Structure 1
Amino acid sequence: MSGAGAAGAPGPPAESGYLPPGLPFFRVGTGRPLVVLPGLGAPHEVPRGFERAAEAGPLRAFALSREVWWIGRRSGLPRTTTMGDLAADTAQALAAFDGPVDVVGISTGGSVALQLAADHPRLVRRLVLVAAGCRLGELGRRGQRAVLDRLDGGDRRGAGAEMVRLIGVRPVARQLEAWIGWLAGPLMLPRFTDDLAAVILAEDAFDLTARLPSITTPTLVVGGDEDSPYGPAVFSETAAGLPNGRLRLYSGRGHVGVQRAPGFARDVLTFLDTP
C-alpha cells in the first residue's frame, strides 16, 4: 500500500479502520497484499469480537504468506445502490494500493469483485470468486428476497432464519439451521439492516453474463457442487464465459462449506502465485 495510512496520516497503515469512501477494513498477515471482499451481512462496520473472529478465521491460511485486507461495504447505502456503485466504492479504496492487487470475493463479495474487474480492470491483478458467479441462481434470488421481505416486516428472527436456510445444503439440515437462525436473528442482525436490504436489492439486479467475454482478468471460480444460492451450473457458466477463467468445483460442499474443503487455501494461493 502507499505511504498514506488508512486515515490519510503518514506512516504505516492501521490494522483496522475505514478506507475512503468509508469502507470498514482489518488486515492480518504479512507479504504481498491480498484483498478479501466478504459475503452478505450486517452491520457495515469494522467487525469486533465474535464477528471479527468469524471473518478472520478462514483468512488464517492466506495470512501465512500474504498481507490480507478484509474490506467491507460502507454504511448508509440507499436502496437505489447498484453493484456498480459498490464496485466503485471498492475501486476508490484500492486506489491507495501500489498497483493492481489480487482480489478474493466471497459470495456477495464475489459479485462486487467481478463487477470491479469488469468496470476497473487495472486495479485487479488476479481474481478468485468463492461461492460466487456472474449472477445469483434462482434459489439464491428467492432466498434473498425472502430475507428482504422479513427485514421490511421488522422480523429480524425471521430474516435470520431465512439467511441460514438460504445457505443450507439438504432439506432436513435447512430446517434445523433455520431454527438456529430464528433464535440468533437479533444477534445476527442487530442494526443497520437498511444496508443489508440495499445490498440484497443490488445483487438481485446483478447479472454480468453478457459482459463475461470482455473481462480478461485471470479468474478462478471456486464452488461446491451442493451450493444453493448460485449452484454448479452458474459456476461453470461463469468460468467458461471468462476468457481467462478456470473452475474448481468441490464435491459434497455447499455454499459455506467450500471454504473448509481440503486443499481450498492451497488451490487459491497456487492460482494467485502462478507467474
Structure 2
Amino acid sequence: MMNGLPYLSAGTGPALVVLLYTPRAANPTGLARWSTMRMVRPFTEHFTVHVVNRPPGLPSTTTMADLAALYAQAIKTTFEGPVDMLAISTGGSIALQLAADHPDLVHRLVLGGTACTLGPVGKRAQRTYIERARRGRRPSPALAEIVTESAIGQRLLRCLLWLSDSGQKDHTDAVTVLNAEDGFDLGGRLHDIKAATLLIQGGKDLVYPLDLARRTVEGIPGARLVVYPGRSHSGTFTDRRFAPDALAFLTTT
C-alpha cells in the first residue's frame, strides 16, 4: 500500500505515477492486470511506473477534490519532490484536479482521453450506470453508448457488458468515483495547473468530446494537444502512437 492506496510497480528510473479508472478500488487481477501492465510496459524502460488506485469504502459523498487529496498525500509521503504523471480517462479527471489543487506535486502531466469535464454522452452513460447499480441491476450495459454510435453495435455490446458483470455484485466503489466525476468541472481553474501538460485525444471520443479537450488545453498555460483523428475513447490508449508520443513528451520536456 502507498499511504493506504493499493498500487503496482514495475521498471527502473524516476517515478511515473499512473492513474486509471478501474471498477474496483483495488489492484487489478487476471486479464485486467495483464492489460494494465501491457499498456504501461513501454514506460517501464524509462521510469519506475506506479499504477496507483483509490482505497475501497470511500464515502458516497466523495468529490474529485477528495480523491485528489488522497493521491496528493500518498505522493507527499512516498516521493521527494514533484512527480511525472500519466493519467487516462477518469484517472485524468483526478489528475487535473490534483494538479490544480497541489501544483507543487506534479512536474510533467500526460493525459489521455480526458477533459476538464464530461461531455453530455459520457455524463448520461455514467448516470445510467450509477442508477442501475443503485437499483441492484448490472450496471455496465449503460456504458455501451460511449463505445459506439452504432445502434446494432450498442445492442451487441450491452449483452457483452451484462455478462462482464456476472462475477461482481458490489459496484459501490465504482459508483462513488463516477458520482464524483459527475460533479467535476475544472473549467474555471485550469490556469492553476503549473505542470508541463500534454493531452492526447481521439477525434471521435464520445466521453470527452474534442471540443472539451481543446478547451482544456487552451486553459492550461503552455499545454499541448495531440489528436488522433477517427479514434474512439478507448482507441486512443490502444493506438500504437500513444506510448511513443507520451514518452517523447516525458523524456524531453
What range describes the TM-score normalised by the shorter chain of this pair? Answer: over 0.9
Alpha-carbon shift at residue 49 of structure 1 (Å):
2.1
Aligned to 1:9: none
Give the superposition deviation at 1:54: 2.1
Residues 226 and 172 of structure 1, relative CA distance in 2, 3 Å threshold: farther
The runs of 5 or more residues in structure 1 that have no matched partner are: 1-17
SS of 1:34's equivalent? strand
User: Is structure 2 residue 115 aligned with structure 1 residue 108?
Assistant: no
1:222 alignment counterpart: 200
Deviations 1:145-166 (A, max 9, x none): 010011011112xx12113443
Could you give the per-residue CA deviations for residues 35-72 of structure 1, whole angstroms, max 9, x where no partner exists? 10012x32211222222112212111111221110001
Once residues 45 and 192 of structure 1 are traced to their aligned partners in structure 2, the CA distance between those partners, rounded to angstroms, is 13
Q: Counterpart of 1:139? A: 121
2:17 matched residue in structure 1: 35
Structure 2 stretches lacking a partner, 5+ long: none
Tell me the percent identity. Answer: 41
For residues 257 and 170 of structure 1, what CA distance do their matches in structure 2 show?
16
Cα deviations across residues 105-139 of structure 1 (Å, max 9, x unaligned)? Answer: 11000000000000111110011111011000011
Query: Does structure 1 retain, via aligned residues, the 8 Å contact 2:119–2:207?
Result: yes
d(CA) in 1 for partners of 2:74, 2:144: 30
Aligned residues: 252
Which has the bigger relative contact order, CA under 8 A and spacing at least 6? 2
What residue in structure 2 maps to residue 64 of structure 1?
A: 45
State how 1:146-165 maps to structure 2 within 5 Å: 146-156=128-138, 159-165=139-145
Say if 1:30 and 1:66, in contact at 8 Å, map to a contact too. yes
Normalised TM-score (structure 1):
0.88
Question: Mean alpha-carbon deviation: is it higher for 199-208 or for 259-268?
Answer: 259-268
TM-score with structure 2 setting the length:
0.95
Contact 2:43 2:247 in 1 (8 A): yes
Query: What is the identity, as a one-letter code, of the residue corresponding to 2:143?
Result: M
Confirm or deny: 8 A CA contact 2:103 2:192 kept in the other structure: no
Given that 1:78 and 1:195 are in contact with CA atoms closer than 8 Å, whether structure 2 keeps it comes out as no
